[in-house]
Structure formats: structure tokens, C-alpha cells
Amino acid sequence: MHFWARERLNTQEKQRKAQEALVLVGGIFKKMKDKSMNDWAFEKRIWSHIETVRISIAELSTLSEQPEEVFHAALNIGNVYVDHGFYSQAENLFQWTFAGQRKLLSDDHQDTLNATHYLGIVFNSQGEYAKALEWHQRALDGYEKTLGKDHPDTLNTVFNMANVFSTRGEYSKALELYQRALDGCEKTLGKDHPDALNTVNSMANVFNSRGEYSKALEWYQRALYGYEKRLGKDHPHTLNTVNNMANVFNSRGEYSKSLEWYQRALDGHEKTLGKDHPNTLNTVNNMATVFNSQGEYSKALGWYQRALDGFEKTLGKDHPHTLNTVHNIANVFNSQGEYTKAVEWFQRALDGREKTLGKDHPHTRTSARMVEMLSPLRT
């Protein structure tokens, strides 16, 4: 009946209704870092409506006729698709918004630059790192010109460029950009501002990736002290740093200490966000990794299954977080020499990653390589 009624409208009425729906739905979402478990559940519950609104954007054909709030709403909805791992849909929304704001406003208007920046983020998520850097650089040039070098939006773009270099393993370049972002944040916002502390935490991530564990712990401790002072012991940012410190202990083979810190993070996440929140489940997944490293394979599978059930419930079967856990379960079977089961789970991860991330994403290629390598060993 709803479809029949909508089809009876003329083109102008359809566009007006699509605008109203887009602005209404786009105005209700929070940023990922601010979402509670209830927010995730709410988004899953109304997903069919979000999809309807996204599809209806095709009816808004004349870009120059859209008011600014329509593009703001589309940007917000695009970020929801990023949070839920639907990167191609997010990219389409960001591209539509970028084209519209560019036509309505200008290349260097802040709203246009925000869409440019988000395109950089989604390309990074899709593993298209060169493209991500190109769009981030474009946003950075505009922000510096319009807002100045030390504006928070400028520094956030520098931070996200550093993230791309870190993901690519270009650690020196990443640290250089993180330091630039940190200097600007401390100057503009103060040393204990969450943006400054997030950068400190990310620099610690780089040191951990480089195997500089003592330095990583030193920087994590600096972030942790700031978060506890500014946000409290049970804030998600604080607990994520606790989780990251546990990662270092795991990397150093200090498994008991690692589990102790993961448990601290897990208790806090469950208390603050709930058992099925992605932050909580990420820590559950990491605890399973420790058990796998210790050769406690049954325990590892139990904890990975707990993470998998939660991710599938909260984010869906094809979300990158879900598929990472599927891939990790395959690793356990591989470690046990159960190659038939390992191939089955790597194939499951591969199918999902090809669908969600594309065939050329590094994670997809890793799953494909494992399937190819282990398939001859099946019994």
C-alpha cells in the first residue's frame, strides 16, 4: 500500500517526500564513538527504513534544487553505513553529497570538505589506500586554506592520513603525521583533550606494530592517564586503551598479564556498553587470540564463538568485524591441523570479504591465500 501510494505522486511530490524522509532519518543518528548498545540495536531495528531512504535518494535527481540540510542528512546516513560495514553504499552516499555540495556551495566550503574527508575514510576502509590519501589530501588543502592549519577539522584530516600510512605499514610517515596532529591538538585544544589523547593512543599503536613494546606501553600509559583524568575509568576511550595495553602484553608473550588487562577492559565494556557492543566483542575476540597463542584451542574456539555470535547479532554476518572473527576461527583449526575445517572457515571469510570489501582488499587477499595454501592438505 505504501509503495502504491508513493507511485501515485508526481515527480515533484516524490522529491519533496524523499527530502523530508532523508532529513528526518538523517537527523537521529549519533557518531560511532558515542553509540550505546541501544543505539546499535535501534539502527538494526529500523534498517529497512534506512535502506528505503537511501534508495529514495535516486529520486532527488536535480542536485542544485536540494537544500543544505538534505546533504547534511545524507552525510550522516553515509556514516551509519560505514559503521555497519557497508562501504560501497556509504561511498555512493558520500559521492552524491560531495557532488551536490560542490554544485550548491563550492569546492572549499566546509560542508563540501567534510564530504571529501569522509570519502577518504571510506576508501581507507575498502583498502584503497592511494585513493584514500588522494581524497584526504584534497580535504586537507581545503581545510588549511579555509580554516587554518590548527583547526580541529584540519588536524582530524592529518590524523586520518596518518591512519592510512599506519595501515600500509609506512610507520615513519604515520608517526610524522600523528606528531603534527598531536602538536596542533595540544596547542589548540589542550593536552588532555580527547582528540590529543586519541592521537597519543594511535602513536602507541604504531610503536606496538614496530615491535617497540616498551615505547608502546609508555605512550599507552600516557593516553590512559589522560583518559582516566578527563573521561573516567569506565569511558570507552579509556577501556580501549586498556585493551590496547593488553595487546602489547600479548605480543610480548606475557599471556597472564595480557588476559588480566583484557579482563579489565571486558568488565568495563560490559558495564558501560553491554555484552553485545562491538567494543566489548572486540575484547572477547582478543582474549580468544591469547588462548590460541597458548595452545588452548578449545577455549579459543569458545571465546571466538562468543564474539562471532555477538557480532552477527549486532553488526550482521558480512560486517568486517564479524568476518575477522570467522577468519580467526579458521586460524585455530589450522593450528590444530584440521585443514578441512580450516579451509571451510577461511572460505566463509573469503566469501564475505569479497562481498563486503571487494576482491582486492588486503584482508580478502589474505583469506584467498589461506584457502589456496591449505586446500591441497584437506583429507
Give the model confidence (pLDDT) of 208-237 as tens digits.
999 999 999 999 999 999 999 999 999 999
Nearest alpha-carbon partner for 171 in 204, 123, 126: 204
Read off the pLDDT of each residue in 70-90 and give the average, rounded to a whole number: 86
pLDDT at 41: 76
Residue 1, pLDDT above cutoff 50: no
Quote the cell numbers at residue 147: 580554516
Q: What single-letter DSSP state applies at residue 38?
A: H
CB–CB of 59/18 below 8 Å?
A: yes
Q: Distance between terminal CA atoms of the chain?
A: 55
Q: In b/e form, how buried is each residue of 101-120, taking b as 16+ CB within 10 angstroms?
A: bbebeeeebebbbbbbbbbb
pLDDT at 2: 47
CB–CB of 369/329 below 8 Å?
A: no
pLDDT at 249: 98
Q: What is the CA radius of gyration of the chain?
A: 22
Express each pLDDT in 20-59 by its tens digit.
Answer: 777 777 777 766 566 666 777 788 888 888 888 888 776 6
Quote the cell numbers at residue 288: 580468544
With a threshold of 0.85, does the pTM exceed it? Answer: yes
pLDDT at 242: 98
CB–CB of 272/236 below 8 Å?
A: yes
CB–CB of 147/110 below 8 Å?
A: yes
Q: Alpha-carbon torsion 206, 211, 212, 214, what sign?
A: positive
